């Protein structure tokens, strides 16, 4: 199983959004292939594992070199439902107790190990790495999210934010550089001459 998660390439916009997780080493080589020409990349870490944030920088950032030059980056701290802070944000079901149905319980919550400010700091490092000016790109606070894939917390917000930013960019690029295509439906076959050669 390929552990990276990718939105399907949309036929109308030719948009793909690679979601790079702290996945297994064996799939590492595929990353740069999936990032080629990407308009937006989601770098996902686990809010309960600081190492997963560090790995985004150490192992995954280099894979984004093949992305488009004005590619957007979103940094996403997932599994927030497992944290105490997630509970304050109204996340998830009660912890397990002897009276709780097994299917209804979750692991005991723990304090969040990675803070949003750490993700903001990584976002700023990425801008430096890509030699982008902070004023030319969306603010770090807009592009760093905490989500729960399990409960859906902030997942719509993440994708809606990205699409709202990316789709106008793509439309503008198309208007500036219309694709070089040939309309074959209006093509007339060449007349045949007596000798059988084309005129
Ligand atoms: N509680 C919780 N579990 C999650 C969440 N997202 C994924 N998981 C679980 O985490 C495990 C790994 O999920 P994957 O989708 O394989 O993600 P991954 O990035 O490859 O995984 P790891 O790096 O191993 O965490 C699975 O058991 C998922 O069900 C989440 O938001 N909350």
Q: How many beta carbons lie within 10 A of that of residue 55, not counting itself?
A: 19
**83, pLDDT greater than 80:** yes
> Per DSSP, what are the bridge partners of residue 5?
19
Q: Would you state the pLDDT for residue 173?
A: 83
Do 47 and 78 form a contact (C-beta atoms < 8 A)? yes
Top mutation candidate among 19, 21, 89, 96 for ligand 1, by most atoms within 8 Å of CB: 21
Find the 21 Cα to ligand 1 centroid distance in Å. 10
Question: Going by CA atoms, what residue is nearest to atom 30 of ligand 1?
Answer: 79
Tens digits of residue pLDDT in 133-178: 999 999 999 999 999 999 999 999 999 999 999 999 889 888 888 7
81: helix, strand or coil = helix
The domains found in the chain, sorted by start residue, are 31-87+112-176 (3.40.50.300)
Ligand 1 atom 21, closest CA: 23
Indicate the pLDDT class of residue 28, thresholds 50, 70 and 90. low
Q: Tell me, in angstroms, the distance from the centre of ligand 1 to residue 79's CA.
A: 7
Interface predicted TM-score of the whole assembly (ipTM), two decimals: 0.92
Q: What is the value of pTM for the model shown?
A: 0.74
């Amino acid at each position: 199983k390929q552990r990276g998660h990718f939105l399907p390439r949309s036929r109308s916009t030719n948009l793909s959004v690679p979601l790079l997780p702290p996945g297994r080493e064996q799939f590492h080589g595929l990353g740069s292939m999936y990032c080629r020409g990407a308009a937006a990349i989601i770098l996902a870490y686990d809010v309960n594992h600081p190492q997963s944030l560090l790995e985004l920088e150490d192992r995954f950032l280099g894979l984004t070199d093949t992305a488009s030059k004005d590619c957007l980056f979103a940094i996403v701290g997932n599994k927030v439902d497992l944290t105490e802070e997630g509970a304050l944000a109204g996340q998830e079901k009660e912890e397990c107790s002897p009276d709780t149905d097994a299917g209804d319980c979750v692991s005991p919550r723990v304090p969040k190990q990675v803070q949003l400010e750490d993700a903001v700091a990584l976002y700023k490092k990425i801008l430096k790495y890509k030699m982008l000016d902070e004023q030319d790109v969306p603010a770090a606070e807009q592009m760093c999210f905490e989500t729960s894939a399990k409960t859906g917390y902030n997942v719509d917000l993440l994708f809606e934010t990205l699409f709202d930013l990316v789709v106008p960019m793509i439309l503008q690029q198309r208007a500036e550089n219309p694709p070089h295509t040939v309309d074959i439906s209006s093509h007339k076959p060449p007349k045949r001459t007596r000798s059988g050669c084309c005129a």
